[in-house]
Amino acid sequence: MNLSWSAAWRIARRDLSARFRGLRLLLVCLLLGVGALAAIGTLTGAIERELTARGARILGGDIEVSVWQRQLGASERAALDRLGIVSGGLRLQAMARAGDLAAPVELKAVDARWPLVGRLTLQDGRAVGAPPDGMIWLSQTAADRLALAPGGTLQIGSGRLTVGGIIADEPDRLGEGFTLGPVAIVAAGFPQAAGLVQPGAMVRTKYRALLRPGVTPAQAADRLKSAFPSAGFEIRTRDNASPGAERFVARMGEFLVLVGLAALVIAGIGIGGGVTSYMAARRGAVATLKVLGASGRDITRIYVLQVLAAALVGSAAGLAVGVAVTPLVGRALAGLLPVAPGFVLDPAALTRAALYGLFVALVFAAPPLLAARRFPALALMRANVTPLPRQARDAVLPVVIGVIGIAALALVGASQPRVVATFLAGAAGLIGSLAVLGWLVRSAAARLPRPRAPLLRIALANLHRPGAQTGALVTALGFGLSAFVLLASVQTSIDANIAAEVPARAPDYFVLDLPTEQEAAFRQLVAAKAPGARVRTVPALRGAILAYGPAGRQTRVADLKATPDDAWPLRGERGLTYADDVPQGNVVTAGRWWPRDYAGPPLVSIDERLADVLGLKLGDTLTIGLLGVERSATIASFRRIDWDSLGFNYVLVFSPNAIRDAPHALAATVDLPAGADTAAKKGVLLRAMVAALPASSVIEVGGILRQARALLDQVSVAVLGAASIAVLAGIAVLLGAIAAARASRLYDNVILRVLGAGRWQLLGLQLGEYGLLALVLAVVALGIGSGLGWVVVTQVFDFAWRPDWARVLGVLGAGVALVIGFALAASLPLLRARPAEALREL
């Protein structure tokens, strides 16, 4: 008999329950995995599309040109004006004061044309533009810190301002990037009038333009770069309005997709177990079809169609769940990233998630589906007594096709293909290692001495008996529980490092824009208000790297088509300084430092990581743009920088004779001595510094750390959600393994019941078996998760390994308890089986 696909479908449909009885585990596994991938892909795509669609609003125009510590020259401004309508303004750190209260703010000075795109909305409902002279639009955070409401007054520098309104929605907030304080918006002329714009002050000038018709942002950027190659412009367009947010969304989304894919692969083991159980329950039907003349191909077609129907329904349900969850997650992220409200349908992301699910189902369902085609009817009927041998030859081709499909989906379009390939290889290696470990557990259980207690002896035997699912359970649950141990160890280690290292090593205050002529007075003030405090000052300038390499054969940054991720100092202007001695926390790794009072050709010392990325050698030259003027220096040394110190760390440190003549101010750190009155000293010192230095910015490190902790918490929640899917998938695998062994377990339980065993004894037997397995899994997960956590903490984050073992073990214990609870709950139907009825069906 050779059935057509239509005839096979008619038979398959009649045998397939409308509620998918026997295939529900497959549905659950695909719902979990596909749902997670659909939600992640849809949300990531929605954010990326919003960043693109709202690029002009986020940036504040079609193109933005920014420079540090200067205004655009007449020719530069004229070139920008020829491109379209231009709005300019300043950005700088400042201190706002209201009575005895003070707070650092990001001062945003805007002209009458701002905003070019959108409108600023205040909490009272007004849509406004730039504030009039003498008035300020204040963020809610700044208003809370200063205890101000509309109509209140505050002082910034030497100027007094009236709070005209509290900001509800700032159109270009995301495009402004990270700030060290809440925003405060003033008229364009206020900073100069208030004495905040001093020579060398860290003032950033931004110009936005709405381009005239016929000029694209890329064309405008190219024209400006060609006309002013040494100006040190940092140019952004509406197509790249928030590059930091775009990189974060792309990489975080890619990471979560990989974690979700790992969870789906774990769920695939459950799919394999569920299909195995389903085919075991259909052995009688398969044998009957073979007796009636059905060929192996006919059997394959019938049950492939059944499993395919269930897989499509499960994938569709997962897609629906992913779409339904996306608005909830988007609402939680509304204040951080642009997310369109309501439901979002992303055909590409949904198709990709569905294909992931179908490929995983193919890989794990193919072996049990194809196994029945080679066995004769008699062997199938006696399978409960004489287990069928495993034959995997027929499944090689579909498994290979599925694996290739999964790898292709993950790699195509990946922003970091090497990282994705490494992750896939590592996940495959880990799953393979766990599979080997599962085999070792079975072998060890077979060789261990037999306990005297009957129930414990039977429980140990169940780990290695024919048909035991020990290998699949160790693989799946070991992976899922390892993910929780990994997350707990990484999170607690980072928290411990921040708690232990940052307060001990970080300064209490940063002071920006300290005039050089006031350094002595500043030190005297700190000594008077906080005796024993340590003060460190460094010259602070801003400049852009324009070219690098051997003299006469330099590579110009403007000619680079793409900037490597590790070469971030090439993007726009960066901090510059000069020093007679090697900076604190730096170690010269190659070359020599210049002597004090050096008066030879200009020299520069470079971070060794940047030098390695750019292929720089000692003796090469570096050209920078400083206040619109090109300056060159010879590379004299490479340095290793202690970035964890949270002090002043500069990629480029010049010899004093190279840049000392440029107008600049100082930056300072203040370390208070430890003691019971530290809090009081902080309050006294802060008020004194703000009063004595009205044009400088005083920043408490505690606020920065709170922002860092908030970001880490948000990332941890995202990873925790993805890891939860992995553990849920592992639980599904546990249920699948129990279902796959249901027939043999039913036979065992019935025989034990006939021999006099009670239900509580059988429950104790299940508890002993799964308790032993859970103990093994706990040890495995603790070892693997801790090992991976150590790699992440020490090698990726470069932190000390400081996990909170109590929390790690608590998380692991909760996971193990969950596993045992589900195992016992899934075993209850077997305990309720009636021996006489069960024996008649065997």
Residues 6+ apart with CB under 8 A from 632: 602, 621, 622, 623, 624
Give counts: helices (H), strands (E), the chain. 27, 22
Q: Which two tokens stand for residue 567?
A: 């070469």
Q: How many CB atoms lie within 10 A of CB 208?
A: 30
> Under DSSP, is residue 66 helix (H, G, I), strand (E, B) or coil?
strand
Buried b (16+ CB within 10 A) or exposed e, 789-798: bbebbeeeee
Answer for the pair 507, 756: CB distance below 8 angstroms, yes or no: no
Distance CA 26, CA 732 (A): 9
Answer for the pair 368, 395: CB distance below 8 angstroms, yes or no: no
Apex 178 CA angle, 245 and 123, nearest 5? 95
Give whole-number Cα distances, 222 to 70, 74, 235, 680, in Å. Answer: 22, 19, 10, 54
Which residue in 330, 271, 94 sits closest to 195, CA to CA? 94
pLDDT at 705: 63
Answer for the pair 286, 372: CB distance below 8 angstroms, yes or no: yes
Distance CA 655, CA 633 (A): 9
- R_g of the chain computed on alpha carbons: 34
Query: Phi, psi (5° rounding) for residue 615?
Result: 70, 30
Q: How many CB atoms lie within 10 A of CB 173?
A: 18
DSSP 88-117: EEEEEEEEEEETTEEEEEEEEEE-TT--SS
pLDDT at 718: 59
User: Which residue(s) pair with 154 in the sheet?
Assistant: 161
Which value, to the nearest 10 degrees, does the dihedral of the CA atoms of residues 480, 483, 485, 487 take?
-150
Answer for the pair 513, 201: CB distance below 8 angstroms, yes or no: yes
Distance CA 570, CA 547 (A): 9
Q: Which residues of the chain have pLDDT under 50?
A: 676
Exposed (0-12), middle (13-18) or buried (19+): which is 199, by Cβ within 10 Å? exposed
Distance CA 332, CA 324 (A): 14
pLDDT at 618: 93
